[in-house]
Structures are given as C-alpha cells and as structure tokens.
Amino acid sequence: MERPKILFALSDNVERSKLETVLRPLDIEPLVVNDGAGVIESAVKEAPAIIVTDMGLKVIALEKVLSILRNNAQSASIPFFFISDRAIDIPNFKPGTDTFLLRPLNAEEVLSRFTRTLESRAGRRTGAREIIGKLNQMGLPDILQFLNINRRDGELRVARGALSGTVFLKDGEVLNAVLEGVEKEKALYRMLSWPDGEFEFVPCTVTITRKILSSSSNLLMEGMRQIDEYNRSINSLPSPEECLNQVSKETVPEGLHPAAYEILRNLSLHKLVRELVERSTYPDFEVYSAITTLITKGLVKVDKKALGSGESIFSIEESLMISDRLASRTASYAYPDTAKVFILSTSPELVEKLLDGCGRVPDFKILSKSFFSDEATGGCFGEVASLKLTTGMEVLLFSVPVVHSMGPLLRAFSSNIIGILLITDTIDSETVEKLVQERDALSGATGVPTVHLCSPGDSPVGPGGFEKSLALGPNDTLWQFDTISSELVSNIFRQLMTELLV
C-alpha cells in the first residue's frame, strides 16, 4: 500500500520533527519545503494527502498559496492543517476539509485528526451516518427543521448529480453552508431549491466559525420566500445571457441594496448576468432583483449588440485541428480536457484590459475569483479566463507575474501549455528584461508560440521602441492597442493557434 504523503512547510524544524514522531503510527512519507513557492510546486507535482503549514510562509504568503492551490484542479481538494498560536480567520479555509490546530499541540488530538483526514481521503467514512435518504421523499427544509428541534451537532451532506454541498450544524443551528465554492446563505438557498437528490447526516463535533447569523427558523423562512419569489417573477427578471454595461460611474445614488454596489464593482470584469450572479456573495434572487433595480433606474443598460450567441473564434473544423494538435503534443490518444496560455504582463491593469476584451467574446468565460493581484507578487497570478472550443476542450488563460522567484512555479504549472501572450506598456529596460527572460525560458522549454501586444498609452515611445525592447524580428507581429476589442481578441487567438498548428 502506498504511504500517504504529508507536506510540511513549518518555520520551526523542531516542531516538524515532533509532528513526524507523533504521526509515525500512520507510516507517512514526509515531504519538507521551506517557503510558499515550494508548497505550490510540491502540491502540484507530488499530490500530498495533507499539507501542514504555519502562518509565516515566506516568498509567497499563505493567503496567496491557498488562492493558487484552491483554484488548480490538481490541488483544489488537498486538505490543509494550519498551526498557530492563536485563533485567526483564514481566507479560503474550507470547513469540513481543513483543520486548525492551536499550540501547544496535543499529541493524541493531532494523531486522531490526521487519522480521520487520511481515512476520509481514502474514501472511508468515519462518522456513523445516522440519517440517510432522498430529497424527493424528505425535503431539505424538513430535514433541517428536524435537526433543529433535536438540537443536533454534525454535518448534513447533500448531493444532486455532480453537485455536492454540506450544511454545518451546532445545537441544531446552521453555522454555515458550502456548495462548490459558494458559502453562507447563497449556498444554502441553492440547495433548498433542489427537488431531488440524496442526503446523509453525520454526527460530529463542529468547530467552524459561524458565518450564518440568522436563526435556523428565520433562515428557512427567508430561503423559501426567496425561492418562491424567484419562481413567480422569473419571466420579468433579466436573462442570464444578457450583457450589461454601466451607464455612468458618476451617477450612483445612495441607498441601494448592497448587492447593487457589488454588481457595479464587478461590471468592470463581468458583463453577462449569469457571471454577475455567480460572482456575487449575495443569494441569487437578491442579485437578480438588484440588477433589475439598476436597469430600472437607468444606472445599467442591456447591451443589445452583445446579445445572442455571436460567432465563435474558431469553426468546428479548426477546433478539431487544434485539439488534434494538442493531443499529439501530449502523446495522448484522446483530446486533453484543458490547455493553458500563459499571460506575461508588466501590470495588472493590462491583464484587466485583456479580460475586458475577452468578456465581449461569446466563447470566453472570465474567472476573476481564480486569481489575485497585488504589488507583492508583481501582478496577477492564476487562471483569469477560459476559452471553450466546440470539441469541449477548455483553453485556460493563466496570468503570471514578472518576478524572479516565480521560476519553480512556472515549471509546475506549465503542463499542457500551448502558447504565451506577452503584454507590455513600457520599454523600461529592467522590467522588459524580466518579461523577455520569462518568455524565452518558457518558449525554449516548451516550444510554444508567443503573441506580443503593447499599449503605448501616454508614454512617448519612438518608432520601433517596443520591437527593440522585446527583441522582435522583422517578421514578428506586434499588436498595439488602447483598449482591447472583441475583434482584437479574435485576431490574437487566431494568430496564436495558427502558429501552433504550423
């Protein structure tokens, strides 16, 4: 039997050694790294059963490590064990998956929690399933009322097709609900609307932070009210496929629903109603209602030109050729599910301009929750958008910051890479030098083509300045832009795929 791999990223080697001793009965294979970059690289390459870390990761901070790994298919489900001197709120913490351990560590508790997690990862349920059933026989509201009356502690696990969620209860009160990356009321109300599916209640100690503050009775009444309201008014609500634009950023009044302000902030990246609903933290009906209010007040308008399916960038024949090419690159007899295009840029603003253009093309989906952007990392990092081919394959746009410490990460994430987009708004020698070094390292190792873009803006750049700084040849194309239109997006990806197929 394969030994379970445990990845340790602890600043105190003595503490790590003690943990390894405590876990010896589990016959683990310890993996040791020293910083956040090492955690990401090892998590992707080694697929450990558990990652153990403290709060002081170097090179790449813990919050950003979590953001990257949670949004990568190879590492999204790996549980984390966090060790700290005090209780703190950790962004991207997954209740029911991750574990928080306070110092001083108790050896018996540590061994017990690791054992339960490893057994769960191996597919063995450790909790006694007290209640099992089907939602078409006993609805979720009735189940929650029953558990509330009996003041039960545990996890109510619900599944419908490929979707699965969990409701966490303590003394019968709902502390939180999670469903495929969504949590709180938004997740619970979605599950309340399921007419069928399966459920099971597993009694256990629940220690997560309470994120739903309403009492269970009020929560259920409000949830059912919103579901009824949505079903009654569905014909008058905006269509999920409608595309929206903000009329003016200077005329936003006070007193709107908080969801309305969140929608206006998100409109810079997301235009489709369904994307705005998905990205909002508020329940679905509240978001649809807020969008209706914004349209009624003239703050947002439906973009008639963007409605409809539009033309795809690639025909069916072209998509088949691209997929065939990718299958041959990966020595596979079947089409790969995903491929990657790396984005190398000199600023997060350039990535946002690209996403704004991609959002106007029907084939693209913007993935803003999958990446982060700040000065500490030198820009955006992570999956920012996806291009769906008619063969079913997804081409993921993966943004990479221009910093020297990202070398190991590029290698870890460069599987199935098919191309590079290089975007710059400067000819500053040091910045562009880093950009060119990353481009040459990636293209040299993978043999993929690069498409170059530049945005001169207000900077005085002489003729040939960008071409010279990027070391382009006379036959290399350089796309210049102030804003990126849907037509430019189509041209960029047509060039990329044409060069890939050569």
- Residue-wise pLDDT for 312-342, tens only, equals 677 777 777 777 777 666 544 445 577 889 9
CATH code of the domain in which 493 resides: 3.40.50.300
Q: What is the pLDDT of residue 33?
A: 95
Q: Using alpha carbons only, give the angle 351, 496, 341 rounded to the nearest 5 degrees.
A: 50
Q: What is the pLDDT of residue 392?
A: 74
Does residue 146 form part of some domain?
yes
What are the two backbone dihedrals, phi and then psi, of residue 406, each rounded to the nearest 5 degrees?
-85, 0
Residues 147 and 289 in one domain: no
CA–CA dist 498, 312 (Å, integer): 16
CB proximity list for 215: less than 8 A, separation 6 or greater: 173
Does residue 59 form part of some domain?
yes
Please provide the DSSP assignment of 297-340 as one string. Answer: TTSEEE-GGG-S----SS-HHHHHHHHHHHHHHTT-SS--SEEE
Residues 56 and 162 in one domain: no
- Three-state SS string over 417-469 comes to EEEEEEEECCCCHHHHHHHHHHHHHHHHHHCCCEEEEECCCCCCCCCCHHHHH
Of 420 and 411, the structure prediction assigns the larger pLDDT to: 420
Residues 454 and 342 in one domain: yes
Q: How many C-beta atoms lie closer than 10 Å to residue 353's C-beta?
A: 20
Residues 334 and 276 in one domain: no
Residues 373 and 478 in one domain: yes
Q: What is the pLDDT of residue 374?
A: 47
CATH code of the domain in which 60 resides: 3.40.50.2300
Note the Cα 9 to chain centre separation in Å: 23
C-beta separation of 285 from 253 below 8 A: no
Q: For residue 283, what are the domain limits? A: 237-306
Residues 283 and 157 in one domain: no
Beta-ladder partners of 405: none
Residues 73 and 171 in one domain: no
Does residue 431 form part of some domain?
yes
Mean pLDDT score, 356-360: 82
Lowest mean pLDDT among 192-196, 208-212, 428-432, 433-437: 428-432
Of 36 and 360, the structure prediction assigns the larger pLDDT to: 36
Does residue 126 form part of some domain?
no
Residues 363 and 224 in one domain: no
Of 297 and 92, the structure prediction assigns the larger pLDDT to: 297
Residues 96 and 34 in one domain: yes
Which of 121, 149, 177 is at the close of a domain? Answer: 121
Which of 209, 231, 253 is at the close of a domain? Answer: 231
Does residue 311 form part of some domain?
no
Which of 203, 231, 259 is at the close of a domain? Answer: 231
Q: What's the number of domains the chain is made of?
A: 4
Residues 480 and 341 in one domain: yes
Under DSSP, the state recorded for 210 is: P
Residues 461 and 397 in one domain: yes
Peptide linkage before 104 cis (omega within 30 of 0)? yes
Mean pLDDT score, 2-20: 93
